[in-house]
Structure 1
């Protein structure tokens, strides 16, 4: 048994089947002249009365438009061009293959009506209620559907070229394979609509609401989506080349293998979106937001990414060759195998481009691409790929250097060397690791903190001076050594002795020879020899540090 919702349609359709002559009368009235008097001709028909279930209605005495009741009427394959029946009740009517070109059906109520393969070119359906209507394969070229309600309607395969659907409601509407060239969906509501495989050129979706919709393999070339909302929608494999998506919302949207190349995407919100293998090459993404977005293997070559945010995004294996990265924020982003430069081209960045990672909430953001080992828990340390970390920081270092930003390049050079040193430890090359750790990392900060070396030299000289004071040195025939048998009653003499010992330490360390001051005894000689050797090493490291730094810059 049919449910209660379907019962009225069968009743309305039955009354037309038992009196087919009534349909001919209606057609005669609709085709008569003048067209705008068709409703008055119909209510004048002798059988159009309450005894047959027809109740002519009007809004009020001040609003003379009539509300005709043509529910369930079958107009299959009828020619109804230029008919004028606004405000008519057409629920359950059948317009299969009907010719409704230039028809005025504004404000009609046509729930569950069949327009399959009907021709509604240039028809006016302004503010019409068309919920659950069937427009599959219908021709809707230049049709006006402004503010129409098409919720749950079927527009599969319909021709919507040049149609006007601004402010229309198309909630959960089926629109697979529609042709929509130059159609206007401005401010339309397309939540949960199915636009899979739809096609269109220069379509307008400005300020449209298209949340949780299906646009799989849709093709809208050179179209406008300014301010449109695609939150949680599926746009996988869709084509939006040369389109305008300025300030569009695409949060949590699925754009897997989508093509948005050469498009204007200024201020677009892609946060938490999935853009696996997506193509955005040549697009302007200035001020866009890709926080926590999945951009694995995405093509971002030749894009403009000024002040674009990629915080927490996954850019694994993505390509950013020749991209404009001025002021771009990559903090906490995963740049594993991300391609930023090649032998022939590279991305362009500036001093405001940010790389780094986010520490705990109470700590400031770091400028390390991969957090240093000391900041990681033991379980996390094992998962760090030190070779990749070295390669990634080296790539960023080279980028900064190629853009003339040597201070930033030096910073990432130190990071690169840090991870190269940790790679030696991971590979159990302990001797080479120890040399790099002690002489490169600890003493000079990989050449970026030469002040450490001077501090080391001053500290060593001071300690050597104290050691000489205790072990003794000779100045001519006089022994200079701290004598504590009488206590520290003569501090002036002690300071003089310390000064001589410090001078001796300086002469040994620089090394300038012993001159008038020299070691006294075996212990003092060993100390002097060690300080002199350290001085030679200091000089070698200092020269190497500044030479390498000069070459890098």
Structure 2
């Protein structure tokens, strides 16, 4: 039988932290609102399965919101609740129903968000934290099966967060969640598998399609790298060999480097004006650069269009 508490003790911390206390009261939401307004700490509250639809925990007379930290809100009904600037950090919102709630400026860092319903929520300026607790748990365990399960849960959470932020028009945040979703999926792959290696390369190269500037940075680095190779192996200009020569003056070598850089640009972009031509080993290098360049430019267009049209 659940523990009974007389009405005059409902504001007592022991009642709110007692998982066995009867919290099926019709005015439970009003009592929790009143408790919040007292300014007393609200930590480790046991609110599993509590019916709190429409609850208002907005601290209207202060710049800082109420703190409902490290609390258990498993399967709590919080539909259309008002939680502006509320600090939920460390709490469990597992399978809680927050449909239509106002979470503007709320702090959800270190919360268990597995199965939470955030449909139609106001999610502007929410503090999500740098990582999910499932990620921390995955790193902490050495059990492969448990590690895989935690990463699978994290992927599921990030997928849901991506969808709800997209539906709210928060595309930058949705892009961040998509990247993390892909990372969690990668961690579930065999450690040295080709799939995992390719996935890691895609992340570095373009952030899973969310970082077009990474493609530009890669292009610049590649162009400079190949320009140095051309300077070492040599290219021709009207039958005159352009190549690094320590017997030449510093200015002459810099001039040849700039010409190699120009040749690298037109090769990378597959323009090929014909005023400069590779010779010897430089031919294979130029073919490799042209292949990489055509692929990179096509990828940049795809990534850029995806980013701009989301």
TM-score range, shorter chain: 0.7 to 0.9
Distance 2:121 2:185 in 1: 24
Structure 1 residues 507-528: Cα deviation after superposition (integer angstroms, max 9, x where no partner): 110111251111111x111100
Give yes or no for the alignment of 1:334 onto 2:106.
no
**Alignment match, 2:300:** 542
The alignment's C-alpha RMSD in Å is 2.7
Aligned counterpart in structure 2 of residue 454 of structure 1, from 200, 216, 219? 216
Contact 1:393–1:412 under 8 Å retained in 2? yes
Structure 1 residues 86-138: Cα deviation after superposition (integer angstroms, max 9, x where no partner): xxxxxxxxxxxxxxxxxxxxxxxxxxxxxxxxxxxxxxxxxxxxxxxxxxxxx
Shift of 1:282: 2.1
Shift of 1:290: 2.0
**Alignment match, 1:306:** 84
Contact 1:443–1:452 under 8 Å retained in 2? yes
Contact 1:337–1:392 under 8 Å retained in 2? yes
**Alignment match, 1:501:** 260
Distance 2:235 2:77 in 1: 71
Aligned counterpart in structure 1 of residue 26 of structure 2, from 236, 241, 252? 241
Distance 2:133 2:301 in 1: 30
Q: For the structure 1 residues 317 and 429, does the alpha-carbon distance in structure 2 shift closer, same or farther, using more than 3 Å as the test? A: farther
Q: For the structure 1 residues 279 and 268, does the alpha-carbon distance in structure 2 shift closer, same or farther, using more than 3 Å as the test? A: farther
1:76-91 correspondence runs (5 A): none
Contact 1:268–1:288 under 8 Å retained in 2? no
**Alignment match, 2:206:** 444
Higher relative contact order (CA 8 A, sep 6+): 2
Give yes or no for the alignment of 1:232 onto 2:14.
yes
| Structure 2 SS opposite 1:325 | coil
Structure 1 residues 19-63: Cα deviation after superposition (integer angstroms, max 9, x where no partner): xxxxxxxxxxxxxxxxxxxxxxxxxxxxxxxxxxxxxxxxxxxxx
1:173-212 correspondence runs (5 A): 195=4, 208=8, 210=9
Structure 1 residues 506-549: Cα deviation after superposition (integer angstroms, max 9, x where no partner): 1110111251111111x111100110011011112101111222
Distance 1:511 1:371 in 2: 46
Shift of 1:376: 3.8
Give yes or no for the alignment of 1:354 onto 2:127.
yes
Give yes or no for the alignment of 1:379 onto 2:142.
yes
Distance 1:496 1:266 in 2: 75
Greater helix share, structure number = 2
Distance 2:133 2:294 in 1: 36
Aligned counterpart in structure 2 of residue 420 of structure 1, from 181, 185, 189? 185
TM-score, normalising length: structure 2: 0.84
User: Which consecutive unaligned segments of at least 5 residues does structure 1 have?
Assistant: 1-193, 199-204, 211-227, 250-264, 357-365
Distance 2:200 2:108 in 1: 29
User: Which consecutive unaligned segments of at least 5 residues does structure 2 have?
Assistant: 59-64
TM-score, normalising length: structure 1: 0.49
Contact 1:311–1:332 under 8 Å retained in 2? yes
Distance 1:435 1:541 in 2: 15
Give yes or no for the alignment of 1:490 onto 2:252.
no
State the aligned residue count: 294
Aligned counterpart in structure 1 of residue 238 of structure 2, from 469, 472, 476? 476
Q: For the structure 1 residues 415 and 268, does the alpha-carbon distance in structure 2 shift closer, same or farther, using more than 3 Å as the test? A: farther
**Alignment match, 1:510:** 269
**Alignment match, 2:162:** 397
Distance 2:103 2:173 in 1: 14
Distance 1:453 1:195 in 2: 63
Greater gyration radius:
1
Q: For the structure 1 residues 527 and 317, does the alpha-carbon distance in structure 2 shift closer, same or farther, using more than 3 Å as the test? A: same
Shift of 1:266: 9.0
1:260-299 correspondence runs (5 A): 269-286=41-58, 287-299=65-77
Structure 1 residues 359-386: Cα deviation after superposition (integer angstroms, max 9, x where no partner): xxxxxxx2x335768x945638853622
Give yes or no for the alignment of 1:434 onto 2:207.
no
